[in-house]
Chain A
């Protein structure tokens, strides 16, 4: 069985400060890992994903996440946040041969001016 843990339900951070949103997963097999973002009143959008290869993956808007197999983590980071980054962020995992995604409970990032 797989599960995803996002320990922080809410993360307030000042504008231009760095942020890290934590994600840990449990799985006994190979996995693919995803971060999705949900802006207010909108659907989920893929932010970035890890499939294989380099353990550090980046998005076009400055976010990055690093796959750490030994710590079973896929934390999301950004060195300098903007007001527009305020949203709900979901970490998700799927087995490489499976069909569906398992989501964490989400982390609400609030950027304070």
Chain B
């Protein structure tokens, strides 16, 4: 099956620093990648959708200058949390979809747990 990896799996950083999270589709090309945020005991909330070679589309309420998304290739998307603060601590999950068709399965990465001190 299709595999999506995320790196790092866990990161602890000081407040004010920036953190980059990578999402890779290992055995398929991902036309579209998605970034989600999951708070404890809550569901996944979509943050943004990125298509290779174009700017990401952010959901309402998500600061595009704070959460920088780059989808540089068909197998890699990165999320950079700039000037992180404790309230940014969360579980960040990416997913990748081979095609743009909405019925196509999204394949999820294992997630990255971010703790900002």
Chain B residue with the shortest CB-CB distance to A31 = B102
Q: Is the CB of B105 within 8 A of A46?
A: yes
B42 neighbours in A (Cβ, 8 Å): 105-106
Would you give the shortest CB distance from B77 to chain A, in whole angstroms?
A: 15
Binary interface encoding of chain A residues 89-113 relative to chain B, with 1 for a CB under 8 A from any of its CBs, else 0: 0100011111111111110000000
B32 located at the interface, meaning its Cβ lies under 8 Å from any Cβ of chain A in the complex: yes
Pick from A36, A45, A99: contact of B102, CB below 8 A.
A99
Given the contacts A42-B110, A43-B93, A44-B93, A49 and B105 also touching, CB distance less than 8 Å? yes
Binary interface encoding of chain A residues 44-88 relative to chain B, with 1 for a CB under 8 A from any of its CBs, else 0: 111001010000000000000000000000000000000000000
- Identify which of B13-21, B43-51, B68-76, B80-88 touches chain A: B43-51
Q: Is the CB of B103 within 8 A of A100?
A: no
Pick from A43, A94, A104, A105: contact of B108, CB below 8 A.
A43
In angstroms, Cα B4 to Cα A101, docked, is 17
Given the contacts A43-B4, A90-B44, A106-B43, A95 and B102 also touching, CB distance less than 8 Å? yes
Interface residues of B, Cβ cutoff 8 Å to A: 4, 6, 32, 34, 41-46, 49, 93, 95, 100, 102-103, 105-111
